[in-house]
Amino acid sequence: MKRRQGWLFFIIFLLTLSVYLLINYPLQLGLDLQGGSQLTLQIIKEEGKVTGDELEAVNSVIDRRVNNLGVSESNLQTLGGDQLILELPGEQNPLVASRVLGKTALLEFRTQKKGTSTDLKNLQLQRLSIKELIEKYSIEEKNQNNDNFLKVIQDDLKGIEQELNYSSTSNDFYGKLIEIKKYVDKEITNLFIKTDLSGKDLINAGRRQEQTNSNWEVLLTFSNSGGEKFAEITKSIAGTNQLLAIIIDGESISEASVGNQFTSTGITGGSATISGNFSAENARELEVQLKGGSLPLPIEIVETNTIGALLGSKNILKSLYAAISGLIFVGIFMIFNYRILGFVSVLSLVLYGFFNLALYSLIPVTLTLPGISGLILSIGMAVDANILIFERIREELYDGNTLSRAIDSGFQRANSSIVDGHITTLLSCFVLFLLGTNFVKGFAATLGIGVLISLFTSLNCSKTILRFFTTYQSLRQKNLYLPKNNFSN
Amino acid sequence: MKYNLELIKNKRKIFSFSTFLILLSLLGILYSTFNTSYKKPINLGMDFIGGNELRIERVCEEECSNLSPDSVLENLREISTNKNFINNIKLQFQNNNKLISIRTPYLSIEESNNLITNLDNIIGPLNYESKDSRLIGPKLGKRLLTNCVTSLLVSLFAISLYITIRFDKKYALFALLALFHDLLIVFGIFSWLGIILSVEVNSLFAVSLLTIAGYSVNDTVVIFDRIRENLKSNEEGYNETIQLSVNESFRRTTFTSITTLIPLLSIILFGSYSLFWFSLALSLGIIVGSYSSILLAPSLLLKD
C-alpha cells in the first residue's frame, strides 16, 4: 500500500515538474514553425576528406560573418563532417546571406609588373564599359526591358568580346555580362605580382561614404607587422608608374597609384582604403567578409529553405488541431472499448503528453513539422502497450480471476511482448537519428523519446492510477472493466 | 466475443492475395522503370534529384481571379532571359487560385529570387509571409538518396539481427518475409501513384518505410510471442494452436492498428500539406502490416 502511494506521489511530482519546465523553458520551434531561412553549406575540397580542423576553421569564419551581418538568434551547426547548417529565424531573405557567406574572401595585395601599363589601361576601360552595361541592364530589367534595348547592349557586348578575344559560354544574358566582368578582373590580376601582405595581416575592416560622391569605400586596418609590410610595399612603388592592386578571390577590386610624397617612408599608419565604386550594400558585404577572415576552403550553398512567418504559425495551428483531435479520438475509442481501463489509459496519455513536451524543452529538442508528426504518431504507439495489457487483464477476468489478480498478471504477462515490440521501433529511430538529415533527425528524436516515455507511462503510470482507482469499492465492479455486450461471455 | 478466423482453411487464399499484391507492386515498379519519363522504380522528388520548389499565396480581395498556368508561363518566358529553364517549369494554381505552386530544375538563390520578382510583376501582389521556398542542389540530392538507402539497409539488418536473437530462425525468417512484403507493397503503391498522379517521394517517404519496418515487426512479434507461449502448453494440434493464438491476439492487433491510424488520419485531415503523403504512406504501411501480421506471417508457420 505504501509503495503504491509512493509511486502516486512520484507521478504527481513529475507532472508538477513538467508543468514548471514548460512554463519556464519554452519549446524551441523549428524554422518551419516560426518562419525563417535555413541554408546548408557544403565545404568543397578537391582531394581527400575535410579534416576536423578545417571544418572548425570554416565554422568559425562563417560564424563571425553571420554575427557581423547582425542577424540575431542565428544558429550554426556542423553536419556529417563537411557540411554546415545555418538557421536564420524570422523571415529573412537568404540572398544576402548567400552573397556574403559563399565567397572565400581571400584578400591579396599585388604590385604591377613592369611594362604592362598599356595592357592595364585597355583592360580597365573594358571593365568600365561592362560595368555600365550591367547597370543599364539591371535598370532596364526592372522596367520590363524592351527588345530594342536588349539588341543594343547585345551588340555592345559582342564588341567587347571581340576586343578581348574571348567569348562567354553562359546561356543567360546577365550571366554573360557577369562572366566577362570576372574574366577581365582576372586578366587584370595577372598583370600583378604577389606580395607577402594578405588578409592575414588585417585586424579590422570598416566602411564609410566617400566625401566627393555618393559611393562607399572600405577601410582596412592592419596589424603592426602588416602595417610595416604595407609601408614597405608602398615605398617600393611610390612615384613610379606601377600600381598597387587589391585583389579578392583572384579578382582585382581596385588598382591605386602611390604618390611621390611616399618615396621615403611609404604609407605608414597601418591602414588603407579601397575605393572601388562600392554601393552601400556591396561595401557592407565586403566589410563583413573581410572582418570574418577568409575561408580556408571554398563553400557552396547546396540547400535553402525559406518559410514565411505566417505560414509557420499556420503550420503550428494545423499541427495542434491534428494532435488534439488525434488524442480525443484515441481517447473516445479507448473508453468505449475498455471503459474504466480506457479512462486510465487516457489519463496516462495526458501524462505522457506532458512528460514528452517537458523533456523536449529540457534536452532541448527543436520541434519541427516532422518532429510533431513523430510525436503524434507516438500517441498511437503509446496506447499500443496499454492495449496489450488491457487485453490480458480482460482475459484473466473472463477466466474468473479476481480484479486485483487480473491486473497484476495482466501487467506482468504483457511485459515481454511490449519490450520486444518497442525495441524494433527504437532500432529504426536510432538508425534514422544517426544517418538522417536535419529534418529526419527531428522525427527520429521525437518518436524515439516518445517510445521510451510511453514504456514508463503505460507500464508504470497506468498501473499506479489503476491501483489507486481500485482502492475505492465502487470502482471495483468487474462490469466497469468489460463492455456490457461481452460480459455474458 | 470470440473471433474465429479460419486460418488453416484459407491459407491458400491468403497466399494468393499476397502474391497478387506483390505482383501488382512489381508491375508498377517495372512499368515505372521502363515506361515513364523519369526511368526510376519510383518517382524521386527534388529531395533526391535537386531542384527548386516554391509555394506562395496571392493577395486577393475576396476571390482570386482565375488564371491559366499557360498564360503565366508565356508571360514569364517574355520577361526571362533564360529561355531554357522556363521550358522545364511546372506551374499550378491550387486552393481557389490563391496558392501558386511552382517546380523548376535547380536554380541559384539569385535566380530563384528573380523568378519570384517576375511572378509578382505578372500575377502579384504576393504574400511573402506565406512563402515556402526550397532549393536543393543536385549533388546534395544524390547524397540524400544514398543516405536514405543506407539507413534503410542498416536498420533492416539491425531488426533482422534482433529478432534472430530473440526468436528461433524459422520465426525470424517469417517475420522478415512479412516485413519485406509490407515494404514492397507500400513501395509499389507509391510507384503506381507516381505513374498515375505524378506523386513524388522525398526523404520523409524513406522515413515512413523505416517506421513501417519497425511497426510491422512489432506487430508480428506480439503474435509470434503468443504462438510460442501457447505451443508450450500444447493441448491441441500444432496448426490449431497457431490459429487459436491468432484469434486470441486479433482484437489486440486490430485495436493497436486503429489507435495508430487515428492520429495519422488526423494529420492527413488537419495537418500541414507537407506531411500529407508521409502520413498516407504510414497509414498504408500500418494497414498492410496488420494484415500480414494477422494473416500472412502465421499462415507461413502452418504445416501442411
Mean pLDDT over A196-209 rounds to 85
- Looking at the complex, does the CB of residue A140 fall below 8 Å from at least one CB of chain B? no
CA distance B160 to chain A (A): 9
Q: Using one digit for the tens of pLDDT, what is the confidence trace for A385-444? A: 899 899 888 888 888 888 888 888 888 888 877 887 788 788 888 888 887 776 778 888
CA distance A163 to chain B (A): 25
What pLDDT shows up at residue A351? 93
The residue among A71 and A204 whose pLDDT is bigger is A204
Confidence of residue B25 (pLDDT cuts 50, 70, 90): very high
What pLDDT shows up at residue A329? 93
Q: Specify the 3-state DSSP secondary structure of A43.
A: strand
Q: Does pLDDT of B185 surpass 90?
A: yes
Contact yes or no for B263 and A321 at CB 8 A: no
In terms of Cα–Cα distance, which of A341, A331, A353, A435 is closest to A389?
A341
DSSP B156-210: HHHHHHHHHHHS-HHHHHHHHHHHHHHHHHHHHHHHHHHHHH---B-HHHHHHHH
Length of chain A: 489
- Region of A270 on the Ramachandran plot (φ > 0 left; ψ -120 to 50 alpha; else beta): left
Contact yes or no for A95 and B147 at CB 8 A: no
CB atoms within 10 A of CB A109: 23
Nearest residue, CB atoms, A42 vs list B81, B128, B140: B140
Q: Does pLDDT of B246 surpass 70?
A: yes
Confidence of residue A280 (pLDDT cuts 50, 70, 90): confident
Q: Phi and psi (nearest 5°) for A217?
A: -130, 155
Q: Calculate the average pLDDT of chain A.
A: 84
- Looking at the complex, does the CB of residue A486 fall below 8 Å from at least one CB of chain B? yes
Q: Calculate the average pLDDT of chain B.
A: 88
d(CA A267, CA A275): 16
- Choose the most confident range, by mean pLDDT, from A120-134, A269-283, A310-324: A310-324
What pLDDT shows up at residue A487? 43
Contact yes or no for B267 and A443 at CB 8 A: no
- Looking at the complex, does the CB of residue A174 fall below 8 Å from at least one CB of chain B? yes
Mean pLDDT over B188-211 rounds to 92
Contact yes or no for B139 and A308 at CB 8 A: no
- Collect all residues of chain B within an 8 Å Cβ-Cβ radius of residue A333: 258-259, 262
What pLDDT shows up at residue B138? 87
Q: Does pLDDT of A216 surpass 90?
A: no
Q: Using one digit for the tens of pLDDT, what is the confidence trace for A122-155? A: 888 888 888 888 877 777 665 655 666 667 777 7
Q: Judge whether A380 and B262 are in contact, CB under 8 Å.
A: yes
Query: At A161, which amino acid appears?
Result: E
Q: Does pLDDT of A12 surpass 90?
A: yes
Q: Using one digit for the tens of pLDDT, what is the confidence trace for A446-471? A: 889 998 999 889 888 998 998 888 88
What pLDDT shows up at residue A142? 57
Q: Which of residues 388-417 of A touch B (CB under 8 A)?
A: 388, 391, 395, 416-417
Residues near A116 by beta carbon (within 8 Å), at least 6 away in sequence: A191
How many A/B residue pairs have CB atoms within 8 Å? 230
Q: Does pLDDT of A489 surpass 50?
A: no
- Collect all residues of chain A within an 8 Å Cβ-Cβ radius of residue B82: 171-172, 175
Q: What is the pTM of this model?
A: 0.83
What pLDDT shows up at residue B1? 52
